[in-house]
Amino acid sequence: MTDSGMPTARLGTDGPEVGAQGLGCMGMSFGYGPSDAEASRATLERALELGVTLYDTADAYGAGENERFLAPFFQAHREEVVVATKFALSIPPDDPTRRIVRNDAPYIREAVEASLRRLDLDVIDLYYMHRRDANVPIEETVGVMADLVREGKVKHLGLSEVTGEELRAARTVHPIAAVQSEWSLFSRDIEAGVVPAARELGVALVPYSPLGRGFLTGSFANAEQDLTEGDFRRQQPRFTGENAAANAALLAPVRAVAEAHGATLGQIALAWVHQRAQVHGLPVIPIPGTRKPTRVAENTAATRIVLTDDELSSLEPIAEKVAGDRYADMTFTSAGRE
Ligand SMILES: NC(=O)c1ccc[n+]([C@@H]2O[C@H](COP(=O)([O-])OP(=O)(O)OC[C@H]3O[C@@H](n4cnc5c(N)ncnc54)[C@H](OP(=O)(O)O)[C@@H]3O)[C@@H](O)[C@H]2O)c1
């Protein structure tokens, strides 16, 4: 339990203990339309007051902009925060709109130095491989990451969007503190392979997009109609056209549970993710993303909601009815390699 009453969980077997809910910082600089820097800064401070200690960014979020934005906050609270960032999505110089997955040694070495510079830190607490380049054996990639630990540039290692088998192979090279993958009422692919492997190997699960990128809060129902030009979610198959209408209808049981608890839909979605820790027997530290102080308070309060067995049962059928993939291009995901 942190001073603010937030429960805690450990990142891997020898990683730090963190508040059981982290904060996703991506939207502060990238992906989800215009953001207000002042409100984002207030959100970071409010999160810390509420017991959030794990802060998630990546070099790819706004091509380094998100890391630069967060640097002053991390500087001001270095002893209290656990800084997680990622490498692997490289921007080709001839086309800044594209991303190429790179897991090779020269790229990783360049990427870590660039992240350390932008973050203005001597060491990154948790360094993730963001996406897997199937042309490079994962043992080789994790070997380079392990060298970074030995050199004192990073403290702990993480992997994002890997399969259970890839996690097992990685673990033969170096302990892995966390796997970050999409996990929510709408996205449960990882329960078949990654979650059992993580439990067996003592790896924490860090669910990203636990609010289904906001869709599970009911704050938008159709990305093309409700979100601004340039918002990444307008390209996601689940949030557009007929899929969006079908998926919005799936929120009915979430709404019913929310009413019973006097809670919001988002809080029920988060409580469900937090409860995966008991259901699957491993540390689960979701990182909902928000840029608003009131929402971070709402989201962290979800750590205090416990869903009954009947409520969990009513939410169980949702995921398999979801229409549309998580991404327009699924080859980037672990599901594309299962
Ligand atoms: N490893 C990966 O490949 C990967 C992929 C995607 C994301 N991530 C990480 O995971 C973090 C979280 O994922 P995410 O941001 O994609 O999705 P999310 O956490 O499921 O949802 C974020 C969206 O929900 C809205 N929201 C948050 N709290 C809310 C509330 N209480 N009521 C209504 N709306 C609310 C946010 O809007 P406001 O910001 O306006 O509040 C934002 O649009 C990211 O920030 C990033 O760090 C990692």
Q: What is the pLDDT of residues 279-292, one digit of tens each?
A: 999 999 999 999 99
pLDDT for the residue 334: 85
What is the spatial distance between Cα 66 and Cα 266, in angstroms, rounded to a whole number? 24
pLDDT for the residue 335: 78
Supply the mean pLDDT for the chain.
95
pTM over 0.95: yes
Measured in degrees and rounded to the nearest 5, phi and psi for residue 70 equal -80, -20
Residue nearest atom 24 of ligand 1, based on CA coordinates: 214
Q: What is the pLDDT of residues 99-155, one digit of tens each?
A: 899 999 999 999 999 999 999 999 999 999 999 999 999 999 999 999 999 999 999
pLDDT for the residue 3: 67
Report whether residue 181 contacts ligand 1, using a CB cutoff of 6 Å.
no
Contact indicator for 173, 139 with CB cutoff of 8 Å = yes
54-56 sheet: strands from edge to edge = 23-24, 54-56, 82-87, 124-129, 154-160, 178-182, 204-208
Q: What is the pLDDT of residues 32-43, one digit of tens each?
A: 999 999 999 999
Report whether residue 64 contacts ligand 1, using a CB cutoff of 6 Å.
no
The answer, yes or no, to whether residue 23 has pLDDT greater than 80, is: yes
Q: Which residue matches tokens 């360094």?
A: 127
Report whether residue 274 contacts ligand 1, using a CB cutoff of 6 Å.
no
User: By 3-state DSSP, what share of the chain in percent is helix, strand and coil, each rounded to 5?
Assistant: 45, 15, 40
Is 61 among the catalytic positions? yes
Q: What is the pLDDT of residues 75-100, one digit of tens each?
A: 999 999 999 999 999 988 788 778 89
